[in-house]
Chains A and B, each alone.
Chain A
Amino acid sequence: MFKNYLKIAWRNLIKNKAYSVINIGGLALGMAVTLIIGLWVQDELSHNNHFKNKHKIAQVWQSQTFNGNVGTGQALPRPLEKALREDYGDNFKYLVMSSWTNDHYLKYGEKSLSRPGNYMQREAPHMLELQMVKGEKDGLREINSIMLSESAADALFGTDEPIGKAIKVSNAYDLMVTGVYKDFPYNSSFNDTDFLIPWEKYLATREWVREAEDSWGNNSFQMFVQLADNATMERVTATIRDVKKNLNEDTAEFNPQIFLLPMKDWYLRSNFEQGKQSDGRIKYVWLFGIIGAFVLLLACINFMNLSTARSEKRSKEVGIRKSIGSQKGQLIYQFLSESFLVVFFAFIVALVIVLLSLNGFNELARKEIIFPWNRIDFWLISLVFILFTALLAGSYPALYLSSFKPVDVLKGTFKAGKYAGLPRKILVVLQFTVSVAFIIGTVIVMQQINHAKNRPVGYENEGIIQVPTFSQDFTGKYDLMRSEFLNSNAVVSMSSSSSPTTQIWSNRGGFTWEGKPEGFQEDLAWTEVSPEYAKSLNLKIVEGRDFSRKFASDSLGVLINETAKKYLGMPDPVGKFLKDDDEEDPNPPLKIIGVVQDMITQSPYEPVKQGVYVYDRFNNSSYYNLRLNPKKSSSENIAVIERVFKEHFPDIPFEYDFIDEEYGEKFASEERIGSLSGIFTALAILISCLGLFGLTSFVAEQRTKEIGVRKVLGATVFNVWNMLSKDFLKLVTISCFIAIPIAYFVMNGWLQDYPYRVILEWWIFVLAVIGAMGVTVLTVSFQAIKAAKANPVKSLRTE
């Protein structure tokens, strides 16, 4: 019986080629989108899944309250380690202190690279479940050892044996390679960790780290833990919550709350608002999941619409089958197996589409998704997906078609409503509601991105590069390098800074100043710069003056930004002092010599943070900022700069970034969302139009006789076109009225996440409406005009 059904279905498909192409093509597009989104969602959700103990690993976080604002982050003070180990050690199987992941120079023989890695305590390789390729897993025992990822080892050693060899790190100290581990997978939180060095080495080489041993106020370190077998995240968090507050009086005023962030939340749920875990990336997983579901729904609606529109053609078959003994259930079964066949074909086409577009998608979404050919669960889910889609798309036509009465349809008097029964109208409205909402959403996302992009950055970020200066070699070399670079004629101005221009690496508090309100807990972005900083960035001085090498006293000078002026409550800041409020061991007071324009260092969607730029007395430079000679090409300039750089630092790899590109990175995630939602919207509209196109052609076909009669009676092509298009335009209009409030509500909510946001303007909605109408008119017109131009004699004769 089933074979027979499939045979009929197959012949139907072959006979109505245009219908089949629209039906299968539309469905395949929808399924392809859903599949790709499904793969993406699965990839997002599988982050860190390679850890067998994912559910037991956590990072220790801290919330603190400044002036009523709760700030939450991973940065912890060193004494916390001792406190947790001594008093709460039973709760942890492993407890590992770690530095941040920073680029370091690694040098072996003549080969020199810059790779990111961490200083970690001895148990890290066990907690991180390192898969050893060579050497020993317990490779952090000796202070002068280093463990390398396989890719770093390959790059450094090539075919040489790495184990037991010494490499020079940061151009300062030699470490022995004790182990080589398999690179972390790309969707791992540690995927950029190319080496591990013992924590003890971190202490030995950095005075400030050693000094932080008992400093509860210096939140500069990370801590990872793996829970003991009998411990749970909630219980441990409850026990350690107040440990810092109880042990340290000085920081207790900030109400420090220590808690565990389980590994499963690191990637998707690491946003905190006022100390409460809010969302994070998970909201995009939801967003795209919903888009995928809607696109599939659109494609299924097409299928339903086209199938029921064809009902008149199939009605005779239903009548005959019923009259020779078929029951309703059997007909439902038949139509469902037809829809199964169509869905199955569509799935195969969708697989092809997915395979062809996966590379492009990966590039766009910055993913490395591989098609899961060999995964049984993928195929099982696909089977369920096919069955579900077949049911979703086929249930309505199956129930509708199988309910025809044989007496009615066999008499030949059967007409399936005028042309679009109410359910079909509702489906078209639903389809266009989704499409219009997608259009509006995409336009708003694009607008928001452009809005932020057009925001003035406050300085001139084009034609300027930053060169990292992370090793000791650069100490005391700034003036020399500056004159060398300027003499080379490739650089017109230069400065150094302790953090990159597009980020804030350091924040400070603990000052007093004239007029400081009682109990005010300030938090200032802290950047140490060379005197030429403002000049090299073309950062405007709005009050006072820039640093000058002429005044020796400027080494204790400071520039503040406009936001800081307001924040500190100084109407006339120039000449005022910021004093260290540590009474026993005060640093010398800093004199405010000028106010600079606000420049965007962090998110372009957020207000600029109050910041101070301090004269770099201690050679804390991390970057050279070089403004290139605009009279020459960038590549020429950079070649010269590299040559000069290599003359002085032959052992250090020359690296640079254009600051405007670094700044552009800040838009990457929103741009990705923008282009992805743009593509999905285009596909959604295409699918809806395919459906509309098919529907119009059936309506036109059904009304062939009517159109013939009308033309004989004198209707023009325009009259007929108008008649056929009007009904569809009505439906699209209704869709717009439903879609606009929904889109407004959703997008307004999305924009709330951005303090610096675009204002929703009415023309966006008008544009979407006009767009939807235009697309509808075009689609419908193609068929309508064809029908209207047909010779009435022909159409009437066939009756």
Chain B
Amino acid sequence: MLLQLNNIFKWVNSGGQRIFLLKDINLQVEEGEFISIMGPSGSGKSTLLNVIGMLDTFDEGTYDFLHESVHSLKEKHRANLYKEYIGFVFQSYHLLDDLTVKENLEMPLLYKKFKGSERKAIVADMLDRFNIVGKKDLFPTQLSGGQQQLVGVARALIANPKLILADEPTGNLNSQQSEEIMELFKKLNEEDGVTIIQVTHSEQNAAYGSRIINLLDGRKVEI
């Protein structure tokens, strides 16, 4: 078992009223799963993903990640945990505009304190694997959206995470680019055993996954 959420609640107070963003979420994820989170706008998909990714906190419930209790960890430990095991892919790529493709890929390795020679080898390997060697010295703004997202996925993968969290990874891409990215996810899931959780609006993309979780107003619903 990779992670387990038990009775997760998250809310904000607005004008004396408590508005629930997440309501009693229970979720168990096994290693090697490919899960799609679906639901209308404002249903709490991204919030759930951020909670899983430890970027956001929750107000009630327990969260175990690889048998560590995330809810009771200090921020520093939590950061170490997700740095080690989790990679993020964003809808708007979120590459650092001031760094080249190669340097963007190198960034997570720097934070994990890899040695210079090791970093070079891993980055070269990744560039090769994603077939973007020729783009390594370009800046993100010089690439198309699909290419940028390719770099985004490569960056998420570079530190060899167990889990990839993708927030509408194809939201800004055209259909051909989307398909390429989804194929890539599928391949990673099947061949490399990487666990993937994605948020998506598209039934078509959701079909790549092995399980679908539907959310409505912060609550898990069965369809």
Chain A residues near B (Cβ < 8 Å)? 1, 4, 7-8, 11-12, 15, 316-317, 319-328, 330, 406-407, 410-412
Known: A7-B103, A330-B111. A12 touches B98 (CB 8 A): yes
Q: Which 5 A-B pairs have the closest CB atoms?
A: A325-B83, A325-B111, A11-B98, A324-B108, A320-B94
Bound state CA distance, A612 and B87, in angstroms? Answer: 96
Selected A-B contacts with CB under 8 Å, 26 pairs: A4-B103, A4-B107, A4-B110, A7-B99, A316-B94, A317-B96, A320-B94, A320-B95, A320-B96, A321-B107, A321-B111, A324-B88, A324-B107, A325-B82, A325-B108, A325-B112, A325-B159, A326-B111, A327-B76, A327-B79, A327-B111, A328-B75, A406-B55, A407-B50, A407-B56, A410-B90
Does B155 reach chain A (CB closer than 8 Å)?
Answer: yes
Look across to chain A and name the residue whose beta carbon is closest to the beta carbon of B159. Answer: A325
B96, B103, B159, most chain A CB atoms within 10 A: B96
Q: Which residues of A contact B113 (CB under 8 A)?
A: 1
User: What 1/0 mask marks residues of chain B from 134 to 165 whose CB sits below 8 Å from any chain A CB?
Assistant: 00000000000000000000011001000000
Number of CB contacts from chain A to chain B under 8 A? 60
Q: Which residues of B contact A1 (CB under 8 A)?
A: 110, 113
B88 cross-chain contacts in A, Cβ below 8 A: 323-324
A325 touches B79 (CB 8 A): yes
Q: A325 CA to B88 CA in the complex, in Å?
A: 10
Indicate the member of B79, B94, B112, B113 with the most A CB atoms within 10 Å: B94
For A327, the chain B residues whose CB sits under 8 A away are 76, 79, 111
A407 touches B94 (CB 8 A): no
In the assembled complex, the CB of B21 is this many whole angstroms from the nearest CB of chain A, namely 11
A8–B111 contact, CB under 8 A? no
Proximity string of chain B (58-82) to chain A, C-beta cutoff 8 Å, 1 when within and 0 when not: 0000000000000000011001001
Distance of A412 Cα from B94 Cα, bound (Å)? 11
B87: chain A residues at CB < 8 Å are: 324
A8 to B103, alpha carbons, bound, how many Å?
10
> Which of these, B55, B99, B103, B106, contacts A323 with CB under 8 Å?
B55
**Which residues on B are within 8 Å of A, measured CB to CB?**
46, 50, 53, 55-56, 75-76, 79, 82-83, 87-88, 90, 92, 94-96, 98-99, 103, 106-108, 110-113, 155-156, 159
Q: Is the CB of B98 within 8 A of A15?
A: yes
Once bound together, how far apart are the Cα atoms of A319 and B107, in whole Å? 13
State whether B98 touches A324 (Cβ < 8 A): no
B97, chain A: closest CB distance, angstroms: 8
Residues of B within 8 Å of A323, CB to CB, are 53, 55, 88, 90, 94
User: In the complex the two chains form, what is the Cα distance from A58 to B70 in whole Å?
Assistant: 73
Q: Which A-chain residue is minimally distant from B106 (CB atoms)?
A: A4
A410 to B95, CA, bound (A): 11
* A410–B94 touching, CB < 8 Å: yes
How distant is the Cα of A322 from the Cα of B82 in the complex, in angstroms? 10
Are A407 and B55 within 8 A (Cβ)? yes
A4 to B83, CA, bound (A): 19
Complex Cα distance, B55 from A321, in Å, reads 12
A320 CB to closest chain B CB (Å) equals 5
Q: How far is the CA of A330 from the CA of B106 in the complex (A)?
A: 16
Q: Which of chain A's residues have a CB closer than 8 A to the CB of B90?
A: 323, 410
Complex: how many Å from CA A794 to CA B76?
A: 44
Chain B residues, CB < 8 A from A317: 96, 98
Bound together, the chains give a CA A153 to CA B55 distance in angstroms of 82
A319→B167 CA distance, assembly (Å): 15
CA distance A11 to B46 in the complex (A): 33
Q: What residues of B have a CB within 8 angstroms of the CB of A325 in the complex?
A: 79, 82-83, 108, 111-112, 159
What residues of B have a CB within 8 angstroms of the CB of A316 in the complex?
Answer: 94
**A residues near B99, Cβ cutoff 8 Å:** 7-8, 11
Measured CB to CB, the closest approach of chain A to B80, in angstroms, equals 8
Collect the chain B residues with CB atoms within 8 Å of residue A320's CB: 94-96
Give B155's nearest chain A residue, CB to CB. Answer: A324
